[in-house]
Amino acid sequence: MKGFVQGADRQQTTLLPECLDDWVDESNSVRAVDVFVDALELRELGFDGVTPAATGRPGYHPSPMLKLYIYGYLNRVQWSRRLEREAGRNLEVMWLTGRLVPDHKTIADFRKDIEADHPQMPARDRAAAIHLQIISSSSRPRHRRLSPWPALVRPW
């Protein structure tokens, strides 16, 4: 991924924790997300930015951005600002993205692009997650928006 913003090596020792790989359990769902996204041919799926631009500031490779997107989908993190916060403090997300912390605008733009270019992506990611047994079929995320009004009071 030369020519892109690079994440830190997962084996690099730090003050706390000593190695991120030690803090992410072998049965953690982020490991399955990592393997799943790494197995995808992102260029064939139509992702932009797989080849870095020759000029300008390096961008993020679509792979860690897609991993962050799927993590947010599986863990019901709906807002790009919250995903940005999770990327900076959650050890699972740090491990998953290689300690990359894209800002909320970058995350929102990636989400907008992926949902416009791949409207079937969330359902396919969910089906793959169930197939890989990342999540059980009983823990389905709600697709409808909950009303801010109490059950007995409706604005109409």
Token pair recorded at residue 15: 């003050």
pLDDT in the model for residue 87: 94
pLDDT in the model for residue 111: 85
**Separation between Cα atoms, residue 90 and residue 50, nearest integer Å:** 26
**DSSP alpha helix (H) spans, 42-90:** 62-74, 80-89
In Å, how far are 31, 60, 156 from 75, measured between CA atoms? Answer: 14, 22, 33
DSSP strands (E only) in 5-151: none
**What are the φ and ψ backbone dihedral angles of 74, each rounded to 5 degrees?**
-70, -30
Question: Closest Cα partner for 62 from 78, 72, 48, 41?
Answer: 48
User: Model pTM greater than 0.85?
Assistant: no
pLDDT in the model for residue 15: 66
pLDDT in the model for residue 101: 95
| Binned average pLDDT, 10 residues per bin, the chain of 156 residues | 82 72 90 90 82 87 92 88 94 94 94 72 56 49 41 40
**Separation between Cα atoms, residue 52 and residue 61, nearest integer Å:** 8
Distance of CA 80 to the CA centre of its chain: 10
**What are the φ and ψ backbone dihedral angles of 49, each rounded to 5 degrees?**
85, 10
Bond from prior residue into 122 cis (ω within 30 degrees of 0): no
